[in-house]
């Protein structure tokens, strides 16, 4: 689980903190000075029964031998026959430990429809400290998307899913991860979800906060930085006549962090280049930005559209067009 928001007072012994997990809705707990920990019950429990679900952590061996942690969440009684659709998300940037155990009730709807939902803690994040971050930064950035590829290869080899049922997803800097995984191994995936993602980082100079990305991606005015930026630029790696998977790209028109032009350009490029005949769609929210300030209703609508696309493109029978 994940412990957050530790609060103490000089006038009282002990402390309060919040705790959540993949299948543990958030609650406020107390830790006494003698080490005893107890739930306070201050947070009303949600009307969700999590007993039918299971969350397990695994490690995939990357091509250089590094052990890459990933988590799968699914309904108990899962049959490993390669027929279960799976959606694996990844981030891997800025030294941020993304996808730590956190309860997200929305994903249970997708799991109830037959999906495995997973999270890959690829290099570039902060899961194992500074070295893990550096392992997916600048010229080491290919490790980030190749870690995701290697996790997905293992899932197929172990028959959790198969290529025709496998989808990947990433948001913001995670757009680099999924975009480059797709352009490097398009045959591995049935669908890709790219949410407010960096698709064309070579153009970061057009971004309001673009120059702040130089320590992470590289400086375009220097040869090494230019090469690093071109390496991570998914738009630059789209090849004409390639059978790309189905792709849903999303953006908010007022996004101050990753301009809408990234996914707009990527959408047009994929539509022109792909030979697969699979849909490449752009979802635009004219009242949203990067997603951080979106309302609950906006988040629900985006999730519904995303889940519908995933169910459609991974071949779940009940969700195919008539």
The one catalytic residue in 30, 162, 276, 290 is 290
CA distance 274 to 290: 27
The one catalytic residue in 89, 93, 172, 274 is 172
pLDDT for the residue 3: 81
pLDDT for the residue 172: 95
pLDDT for the residue 239: 98
Tens-binned pLDDT, residue by residue, of the chain (322 aa) = 888 777 887 877 888 888 889 998 888 999 988 889 988 888 888 889 999 999 999 999 999 999 999 999 999 999 999 999 999 999 999 999 999 999 999 999 999 999 999 999 999 999 999 999 999 999 999 999 999 999 999 999 999 999 999 999 999 999 999 999 999 999 999 999 999 999 999 998 778 778 889 999 999 999 999 999 999 999 999 999 999 999 999 999 888 788 899 999 999 999 999 999 999 999 998 887 887 778 888 889 999 999 999 999 999 999 999 8
Q: Beta-strand (E) ranges in 85-216?
A: 86-90, 116-120, 166-171, 191-195
Beta bridge partners, 250, equal: 195, 283
| DSSP assigned state of 123 | B
pLDDT for the residue 191: 99
- The pair of three-digit structure tokens given for residue 14, joined into one six-digit string: 């002990």
Non-local (6+) Cβ contacts of 275 within 8 A are: 241, 242, 243, 244
Return the H-helix or E-strand segment holding 144. Answer: helix 142-157
CA distance 204 to 273: 23
Q: Beta-strand (E) ranges in the chain?
A: 2-8, 15-21, 24-31, 37-39, 53-61, 67-75, 86-90, 116-120, 166-171, 191-195, 246-252, 280-285
User: Homologous superfamily of 53-319 in CATH?
Assistant: Alpha/Beta hydrolase fold, catalytic domain (3.40.50.1820)
Q: What is the pTM for the complete model shown?
A: 0.93
Provide the residue ranges of all domains of the chain, joining segments of one domain with +.
2-39, 53-319
Give catalytic status of residue 199 as yes or no: no
pLDDT for the residue 32: 87
- The pair of three-digit structure tokens given for residue 292, joined into one six-digit string: 């951080």
pLDDT for the residue 7: 82
Q: How far is CA 81 from CA 85, 160, 185, 276, in A?
A: 11, 7, 23, 26
Give catalytic status of residue 172 as yes or no: yes
CA distance 109 to 71: 18
């Amino acid at each position: 689980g994940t412990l957050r928001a530790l609060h103490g007072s000089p006038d009282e012994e002990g402390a309060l903190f919040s705790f959540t997990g993949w299948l543990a809705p958030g609650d406020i707990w107390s830790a006494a000075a003698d080490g005893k920990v107890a739930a306070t019950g201050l947070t009303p429990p949600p009307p969700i029964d999590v007993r039918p679900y299971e969350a397990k952590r695994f490690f995939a061996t990357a091509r250089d031998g590094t052990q890459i942690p990933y988590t799968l969440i699914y309904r108990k009684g899962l049959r490993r026959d390669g027929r279960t659709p799976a959606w694996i998300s990844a981030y891997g940037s800025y030294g941020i430990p993304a996808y730590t155990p956190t309860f997200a009730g929305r994903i249970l709807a997708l799991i109830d429809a037959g999906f495995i939902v997973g999270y890959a803690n690829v290099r570039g994040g902060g899961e194992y400290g500074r070295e893990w971050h550096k392992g997916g930064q600048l010229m080491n950035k290919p490790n980030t998307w190749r870690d995701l590829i290697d996790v997905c290869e293992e899932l197929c080899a172990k028959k959790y899913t198969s290529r025709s049922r496998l989808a990947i997803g990433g948001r913001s800097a995670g757009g680099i991860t999924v975009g480059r995984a797709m352009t490097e191994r398009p045959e591995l995936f049935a669908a890709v979800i790219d949410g407010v993602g960096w698709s064309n980082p070579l153009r970061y100079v057009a971004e309001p906060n673009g120059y702040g990305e130089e320590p992470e991606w590289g400086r375009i005015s220097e040869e090494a930085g230019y090469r690093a930026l071109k390496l991570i630029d998914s738009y630059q790696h789209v090849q004409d006549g390639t059978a790309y998977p189905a792709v849903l790209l999303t953006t908010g028109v007022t996004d101050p962090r990753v301009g809408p032009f990234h996914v707009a350009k990527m959408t047009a490029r994929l539509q022109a280049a792909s030979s697969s005949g699979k849909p490449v769609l752009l979802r635009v929210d004219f009242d949203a930005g990067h997603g951080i300030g979106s309302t609950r209703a906006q988040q629900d609508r985006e999730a519904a559209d995303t889940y519908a696309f995933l169910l459609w493109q991974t071949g779940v029978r009940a969700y195919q067009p008539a």
